[in-house]
Amino acid sequence: MAASAASFGVVYLFVVVISMLGSSTYADLSKNFYSKSCPKVFTAVESVVKSAVSKEHRMGASLVRLFFHDCFVKGCDGSLLLDDTASFTGEKTAGPNNNSVRGFEVVDAIKARVEKVCPGVVSCADILAIAARDSVVILGGPDWDVKLGRRDSKTASFSAANSGVIPPPTATLSQLINRFNARGLSAKDMVALSGAHTIGKARCVLFRNRIYNETNIDGSFAKTRQRSCPRTSGSGDNNLAPLDVKTRNSFDLKYFKNLLNKKGLLHSDQILFNGGSTDSLVKTYSSNVKTFYSDFVTAMIKMGNITPLTGSKGEIRKNCRRPN
Ligand code: HEM
Ligand SMILES: *[C@@H]1O[C@H](CO)[C@@H](O)[C@H](O)[C@H]1NC(C)=O
Ligand SMILES: *[C@@H]1O[C@H](CO)[C@@H](O)[C@H](O)[C@H]1NC(C)=O
Here the CATH number for the domain that contains residue 162 is 1.10.520.10
Model confidence pLDDT, tens digit, residues 136-181: 999 999 999 999 999 999 999 999 999 999 999 999 999 999 999 9
56 annotated to bind ligand:
no
Q: What is the pLDDT of residue 222?
A: 98
Q: What distance in angstroms lies between residue 93's CA and the mean position of ligand 2's atoms? A: 6
* Total domains in the fold of the chain: 2
Are 208 and 287 contained in the same domain?
yes
Ligand nearest the Cα of residue 237 is: 1
Are 153 and 187 contained in the same domain?
no
93 Cβ inside 6 Å of ligand 2: yes
Are 197 and 139 contained in the same domain?
no
For residue 36, tell me if it sits in a domain: no
- Whether the pLDDT of residue 304 is over 70: the answer is yes
pTM, entire model: 0.93
For residue 101, tell me if it sits in a domain: yes
Chosen domain end from 166, 191, 220: 166
279 annotated to bind ligand:
no
Confidence of residue 17 (pLDDT cuts 50, 70, 90): very low
For residue 282, tell me if it sits in a domain: yes
Residues with Cβ within 8 Å of residue 263, at least 6 apart in sequence: 217, 218, 221, 245
Residues with Cβ within 8 Å of residue 11, at least 6 apart in sequence: none
Are 295 and 211 contained in the same domain?
yes
Q: What is the pLDDT of residue 27?
A: 56
Ligand nearest the Cα of residue 92 is: 2
Model confidence pLDDT, tens digit, residues 42-52: 999 999 999 99
Q: What distance in angstroms lies between residue 172's CA and the mean position of ligand 3's atoms? A: 17
Outline where 163-248 has alpha helix (H).
173-181, 187-194, 204-213, 219-227
Q: What is the pLDDT of residue 208?
A: 98
Are 47 and 95 contained in the same domain?
yes
Take atom 13 of ligand 2 and give the residue whose Cα is closest: 93
Take atom 12 of ligand 1 and give the residue whose Cα is closest: 202
CA pair distance 240, 200, nearest whole angstrom: 10
Are 135 and 210 contained in the same domain?
no
Ligand 3 closest atom vs CA 211: 13
Provide the domain limits for residue 241.
173-302
208 Cβ inside 6 Å of ligand 3: yes
For residue 14, tell me if it sits in a domain: no
Are 94 and 207 contained in the same domain?
no
Strand 201-203 and strand 240-242: the pairing is antiparallel
Take atom 2 of ligand 3 and give the residue whose Cα is closest: 213
In this prediction, residues 33-50 reach a mean pLDDT of 98
List beta partners, residue 151.
309
- Cα distance from N-terminal residue to C-terminal residue, the chain: 57
212 Cβ inside 6 Å of ligand 3: yes
For residue 266, tell me if it sits in a domain: yes
Test site for ligand 2: of 93, 203, 238, most ligand atoms within 8 A of the Cβ:
93
For residue 151, tell me if it sits in a domain: yes
In this prediction, residues 286-299 reach a mean pLDDT of 98
CATH number of the domain to which 258 belongs = 1.10.420.10
Residue type at 17 in one-letter notation: V
Model confidence pLDDT, tens digit, residues 195-248: 999 999 999 999 999 999 999 999 999 999 999 999 999 999 999 999 999 898
Are 150 and 178 contained in the same domain?
no
For residue 15, tell me if it sits in a domain: no
CA pair distance 286, 119, nearest whole angstrom: 44
CA pair distance 167, 187, nearest whole angstrom: 14
Chosen domain end from 166, 196, 219: 166
Are 56 and 108 contained in the same domain?
yes
Take atom 11 of ligand 2 and give the residue whose Cα is closest: 93
CA pair distance 324, 313, nearest whole angstrom: 14
Quick one: 110 exposed, middle or buried, by C-beta within 10 A (0-12, 13-18, 19+)?
A: buried
Model confidence pLDDT, tens digit, residues 78-133: 999 999 999 999 999 999 999 999 999 999 999 999 999 999 999 999 999 999 99
Burial string for 63-97 (b: 16+ CB within 10 Å, else e) reads: bbbbbbbbbbbbbbbbbbbbeeeeebbbbbebebb
For residue 18, tell me if it sits in a domain: no
CA pair distance 107, 115, nearest whole angstrom: 12
> What residues act catalytically?
69
**Cα separations (Å) of 132 from 26, 138, 167, 216, 282?**
18, 10, 20, 32, 23
Are 143 and 180 contained in the same domain?
no
Ligand 3 closest atom vs CA 232: 13
Model confidence pLDDT, tens digit, residues 253-287: 999 999 999 999 999 999 999 999 999 999 999 99
Are 152 and 48 contained in the same domain?
yes
The answer to whether 41 touches 276, Cβ cutoff 8 Å, is: no
Ligand nearest the Cα of residue 91 is: 2
Chosen domain end from 132, 166, 200: 166
Are 45 and 93 contained in the same domain?
yes
